[in-house]
Chain A
Amino acid sequence: MTSADNLRAFRRDGRIVIVGASLAGLRAAESLRDEGFTGSLTMIGDELGEPYDRPPLSKQVLTGWVPAGGTTLPRRRDIDAEWLLGVPASGLDLATDHVRLADGCEVPFDRVLIATGVRARPWFVPSEAELDGVFVVRTREHAEGLQRALAAGPSRVLVIGAGFTGSEIASICRERNIPVTVAELAPYPLVGALGAMIGEVAAEMQRAHGVDLRCGVKVTRLEGDAQGRLRRAHFDDGSTVDADVAVVALGGIRNTEWLQGSGLAAGVWGVACDTGCRAMDLNGLITDDVFVAGDVARCPNPVYEYRLISLEHWANAVEQAEIAAHNMVNGQAERWPHLSIPRFWSIQFGVNIKSVGVPTFADEVVVTQGSVTDHRFVAAYGYQGRVTAAVTFNNAKWLDHYRRLIETAAPFPPPCPTPDQPLDTKPVPVDFPGPTLLAQGATVVVTGHDPGERRVTAAHQHHR
């Protein structure tokens, strides 16, 4: 039988298993059926219920407008799948092509898509994380609990971590007229993603809206009362804040533990894959039957020197799901690469913040359009003389222009395309704290000398 016959047979009655039943998993399933796959499709997910959208959880849901259970994703089509929900996958056996579930079930496949995403990083002291009033926000249940706590009119909310989620939650607290303290270890909010210049603007915005913003501090202890309710937080500078609600917004942990021992290049940075979303094994070999999409995927982008990049972006999950699905049911000659430029948005303090490209892949940043003080501007990021990213504050209509500059490796700094040229157009150093994309740690070690012996093994890192 030729490989074309094999492919036809697989498309007709092969078995595809999708591990992860959220945005990426659902969109991949729909695309597989769009592509004409008529075999069996199994969706595995650790949460019960239909796939739902997460971005509204830290926005519309927390304002009290939309119920936490009211963000179910619309369907583009029937997917005719078998759903195995409520039990997480616990292992992947590539010798026998089975996914193992935590309850002991084994699910066989011909091809598998890994879309297990990210979970919220919990507070580092479990007994303190269990106090009444301490929350993370990742799932529907988390958002529902926090919404109820906010509706009860807390005396003060403490937000730990001023990334996008933490900043959005602080914004909603102010909208609901709830006193809020934001604690951030870095010198500014959003600085890890967007650098110091934008971080300074974000800090000014928070303070103008009445946020008690404390940067450069670390929360060392969450203190409860006799009833196990949060009442106070202690900082490393000796100060304290009395709060009855704390939101831990310290980013996510990629759900890759279940892949330990699978032989895939999976670790804290995600599951490495090629631009066709085919997973890479520990030796850097591309696998034929294992695909990855969404927040858990770590995919090279040629625009960024082929570096492996993990993105927790909505549009990235959708696009990778479609690429992965296409490539799962097509032959080598028809494969598609995932080459789109990352896009991201956040809504906070009445401002629409959007980005295109990879802002951490930059050495300089410059305001190219508009006015920073009016919170209506565009900042372009450059790396070694070419445009690599742009961030807009209430200026989203210009993002596509900057996307084209990135795709064409246009010279940095770019000229201002409008008459609203800012007074100061001198690029400044981008100034990211800590390790950035340009300096990521290795997660593997290479062993052996002869070509037949050389292997890569995972150097398992701790999550914290």
Chain B
Amino acid sequence: MRVVVDLSRCEGYAQCAFLAPDAFRMHGEEALMYDPEPDDAQRERVLRAAAACPVQAILVDRLEGRTAEQDVPVTAASS
């Protein structure tokens, strides 16, 4: 699955690191490091972390599991 965190919004509450520790880790007291493509086994935990974020900074892919064929860029311009 794909995740991005708006770190300019993140205030380091660490709820995500508590709920999905394999995908979200604190670096020092306040800084967040995360895995942008966590394993699908993490899915439930990552969704819970996204829902629990006090500043709603975690965006999870909405096309999850059905990446639209027409939206996957495969063609080079020259082809």
Residues of A within 8 A of B (CB): 21, 43-45, 48-50, 53, 55-56, 59-60, 63, 65-66, 70-81, 83-87, 101, 103, 105, 313-315, 318, 343-345, 347, 349-352, 354, 376, 394-397, 399
Whether the pair B30, A352 counts as a contact (CB closer than 8 A) is yes
Whether the pair B73, A43 counts as a contact (CB closer than 8 A) is yes
Partner of B77, one of A50, A101, A354: A101
- Chain B contacts with A in 55-79, Cβ cutoff 8 A: 59-63, 67-68, 70-78
B19 CB within 8 Å of chain A: no
B2 CB within 8 Å of chain A: yes
The 8 A CB mask of B1-12 against A (1 = contact, 0 = none) is 011101111111
With A76-B62, A85-B77 as contacts: A350 and B37 at CB distance below 8 Å: no
Whether the pair B77, A75 counts as a contact (CB closer than 8 A) is no
Whether the pair A66, B76 counts as a contact (CB closer than 8 A) is no
Whether the pair A81, B27 counts as a contact (CB closer than 8 A) is no
A78 to B64, CA, bound (A): 11
Query: Which 10 residue pairs spanning A and B have beta carbons closest together?
Result: A350-B28, A83-B73, A74-B61, A352-B31, A84-B77, A87-B77, A86-B76, A74-B2, A343-B8, A352-B30
Whether the pair A315, B35 counts as a contact (CB closer than 8 A) is no
Whether the pair B78, A396 counts as a contact (CB closer than 8 A) is no
A65 to B77, CA, bound (A): 33
In the complex, the chain A residue whose C-beta lies closest to that of B74 is A83
A355 to B4, CA, bound (A): 20
What residues of A have a CB within 8 angstroms of the CB of B78 in the complex?
86-87, 103, 105
A219 to B61, CA, bound (A): 43
What residues of A have a CB within 8 angstroms of the CB of B11 in the complex?
396-397, 399
Partner of A85, one of B36, B68, B70, B76: B76
Partner of B2, one of A72, A78, A83: A72
Contacts A/B (CB < 8 Å), 24 sampled: A49-B73, A50-B73, A60-B34, A63-B33, A71-B36, A73-B4, A74-B3, A74-B59, A76-B59, A78-B63, A84-B76, A101-B77, A103-B77, A315-B9, A343-B8, A344-B8, A347-B7, A347-B27, A350-B28, A351-B31, A352-B27, A352-B28, A352-B32, A399-B11
A354 to B9, CA, bound (A): 10
What residues of B have a CB within 8 angstroms of the CB of A45 in the complex?
73
B3 to chain A, nearest CB (A): 6
Whether the pair A55, B77 counts as a contact (CB closer than 8 A) is no
Partner of A347, one of B31, B61, B75: B31
B68 to chain A, nearest CB (A): 5
With A53-B36, A60-B33, A347-B31 as contacts: A85 and B12 at CB distance below 8 Å: no
Whether the pair B73, A72 counts as a contact (CB closer than 8 A) is no
Whether the pair B36, A72 counts as a contact (CB closer than 8 A) is yes
A214 to B17, CA, bound (A): 36
B77 to chain A, nearest CB (A): 4
Whether the pair B70, A80 counts as a contact (CB closer than 8 A) is yes
A359 to chain B, nearest CB (A): 15
> Among B34, B70, B71, which residue has the most Cβ atoms of chain A within 10 A?
B71
